Amino acid sequence: MCGCASSGPTGREVLTGSIVPQKSRLVLYRSNSPLGAAIQPSYIVDGKSVASSTPNGFVVCDLNPGTHAVSVANTELTVNLGGGNDKARVTLQPGQTVYYKAEPQVGLTVGVVTLSQVTESQGRTDTADLHKLEGTCA
């Protein structure tokens, strides 16, 4: 059983419109990968869980411009053997969209999910066929 996002609107349908000029958009996504499909820790934005890092899915957070903390709630005491970070700080400008790709990595005891910022062009391409996850950020 994959536990992958397989319903809901796709990125092509959701992420093509513009956002309110006084807001910023943060998109967190995870492609479908055979590595770590069962590992689905939550995405955390500004200390609040917003959605699970489900393969083949993305979550959209429309936020106020400014600096925001983004992380993945990996299991504590897990040693990441694959490199990468599971925490980031991003400064969003009004009207800007920033994309972070979540990728499973090999861990010492269980896998971990890391984040890497990608260009808006790459993020749009990567999320075009992914499905929007139900999330708690506006």
Does the pTM exceed 0.75? Answer: yes
| Beta strands across the sheet bearing 24-30 | 112-118, 97-105, 24-30, 57-63, 131-132
CA dist 58 and 45 (Å) reads: 14
Query: At residue 1, does pLDDT exceed 50?
Result: no
Q: What are phi and psi of 136, to 5 degrees?
A: -105, 10
56-68 confidence digits (pLDDT tens): 999 999 999 999 9
Question: pLDDT for 60-111, tens place per residue?
Answer: 999 999 999 999 998 765 554 555 678 999 999 999 999 999 998 876 556 7
**Complete domains list, the chain, with CATH:** 22-132 (2.60.40)
Percent of the chain with pLDDT over 90: 57
